Amino acid sequence: MGGKQSRAGSNEKDPKRLLPGKRQKFSSWDDTLLLGKDPRSLLKRGMRHVSFSLVTKGMTDVPDFLWGLLEVQKLNLSHNQLQVLPPEVGRLTRIVVLNLCGNRLKSLPREVSLLQSLKVLFLNMNCLAEVPAELSLCRNLEVLSMSHNCLSQLPASFADLSRLRKLNLSNNYFAHIPICVFSLKELDFLHVGSNRLENIAESIQCLASLQIFIAESNNIHSFPRSLCLVTSLELLNLNNNDIQTLPDELYLLCRLGRIAWNPMDKGLHISHNPLSKPLPELVEGGLEMLYSYLKDKKHH
């Protein structure tokens, strides 16, 4: 690794040496490299961030010159064929947004812990079976999306991601919501749809800032009363589960506003569940009718 660092240092002084020994076919920037220009000329300098993008290039490896672009803040390597993210990524300490969606990554290097400026990380559509505990050292992380992977658990240390606001764990292999998630007090968005959940833990009530909770397409058997205590909820999606009854305290979720049928709409999504009578008819009648029934039922 020391050798690579010294090579990167010399590359900064001599742009021509940034040329890869074996030419790769990346049409949008290959000509620039062949002209001997500094790859920094490919950086896009916006009002807020310096960004670099190599999207849909068919890359199986990250080009070495990238690790010398120390000023990059937004890096997009999505929709390639990357199987490994090299430990050199730890050099890019100014990164705020890192997009690795749609690759073939099976793991992440421990050096991601060095990305102390990182706020947004997209890992959707990879082959991750685990994530390193070191990721929890990225204490400024606010958005983490890991949908469409092979995950079944998270490191307990993820409880330390105290600034995390949005977490997407959908389309994985979780049998339960990881315990560490219930420590994320700032979380306002949680997506655990299309997993293998059979229940929602009572600890869900700890997520007092949660506004959007999606747990559709699982095998959840009951609607926990503790979920009714998360009164900040504006969108609750429990479609396509095995729920038969609804808690009398459901009316406490006053911000839901309506029964929702469009996946993008705020409100209560409860379709495609084997609800016992008269609940299906009440749901059809709207949220006000459903809440009125549940209130009367509770008081009597």
**Where residue 111 sits, what CATH number does that domain have?**
3.80.10.10
In a shared domain, residues 293 and 214: yes
Does any domain span residue 269?
Answer: yes
Q: Is 160 exposed, middle or buried (0-12, 13-18, 19+ CB in 10 A)?
A: middle
> Is the N-terminal amide bond of 247 cis, ω within 30° of 0?
no
Residues 115 and 225 in one domain: no
Q: Both 192 and 273 in a single domain?
A: yes
CB neighbours of residue 34 within 10 Å: 10
Residue 73 lies in a domain: yes
User: Do 55 and 115 belong together in one domain?
Assistant: yes
**Per-residue pLDDT for the chain (300 aa), expressed as one digit of tens each?**
444 343 334 344 343 333 344 444 444 444 444 355 666 767 788 767 899 998 998 899 988 888 989 999 999 999 999 999 999 999 999 999 999 999 999 999 999 999 999 999 999 999 999 999 999 999 999 999 999 999 999 999 999 999 999 999 999 999 999 999 999 999 999 999 999 999 999 999 999 999 999 999 999 999 999 999 999 999 999 999 999 999 999 999 999 999 999 988 999 999 999 999 999 999 999 999 999 999 888 776
Look at residue 51 and tell me if it is in a domain: yes
Separation CA 16–CA 39 (nearest Å): 10
pLDDT of 49: 82
**Class of residue 6 by CB neighbours under 10 A (exposed 0-12, middle 13-18, buried 19+):** exposed
Please indicate, yes or no, if residue 160 is contained in any of the structural domains: no
Q: How many CB atoms lie within 10 A of CB 13?
A: 7
User: Given 85, 113, 131, which residue is the final one in a domain?
Assistant: 131
Q: Largest alpha-carbon pair distance within the chain?
A: 81
Confidence at residue 37, expressed as pLDDT on a 0 to 100 scale: 62
Could you list the residue range(s) of the whole structural domain that residue 42 is in? 33-131
- One-letter amino acid for residue 44 of the chain: K
How much is the pLDDT for 118? 98
* Domain termination residue (choose one: 87, 110, 131): 131
Residue 4 in domain: no
How many domains does the chain fold into? 2
Residues 281, 191, single domain; the answer is yes
Domain boundary among 113, 131, 149: 131
What does R_g of the chain's alpha carbons equal in angstroms?
A: 23
Q: How far apart are CA 192 and CA 224, in angstroms?
A: 16
> Is residue 69 domain-shared with residue 178, that is, in the same domain?
no
- Return the closest-CA partner of residue 28 out of 45, 52, 8: 52
In a domain, 153, yes or no: no
